[in-house]
Amino acid sequence: MAISLVVISFVAGIALGQWFKVLILVPVMSLALGGTIAAGIARADDVWSIAFVAIAVVTGLQIGYLVGIWLRSFIVGARFARASRRLTPTLEAARSPPTDDAELFARELPRDDRISRLKWSRLSEQIFRIDK
């Protein structure tokens, strides 16, 4: 009976760690202690075995709660990483928009025909130069 109570309290602690804050352990531990003591008295166990089972049940709750918090943080971290990968722009979309006509023209050219930004700006100055 003691092992099954400890396993049940461990699983209950994992479930509590998934959904609740740490303050939920206070009422749950008091209910677990009361239930364990009542079950021990009903079975006519001696005081030391009741105390041992009660301590094991409370410890199982607390360790299960820690495992549940760890699982929750792992799941939230995985969801966050997946969402950030979806929202990360690709390399071409992350580029700043072109600022002058030469860059607009150069973006339409095939990759091999592109000239450096400096050369295009000089070329555009010569082409679009307005004589006064």
pLDDT, mean of residues 37-55 = 93
Distance between CA 122 and CA 127 in Å, rounded? 9
Q: How far apart are the first and last CA of the chain?
A: 100
- Which one is predicted more confidently, 52 or 111? 52
pLDDT at 113: 46
- Which one is predicted more confidently, 97 or 33? 33
pLDDT at 102: 57
pLDDT at 33: 94
Q: What is the pTM of this model?
A: 0.60
Tens-digit pLDDT profile for residues 3-27: 898 999 999 999 999 999 889 999 9
Computed over every residue of the chain, the mean pLDDT equals: 79
For residue 94, give both structure tokens: 């992350």
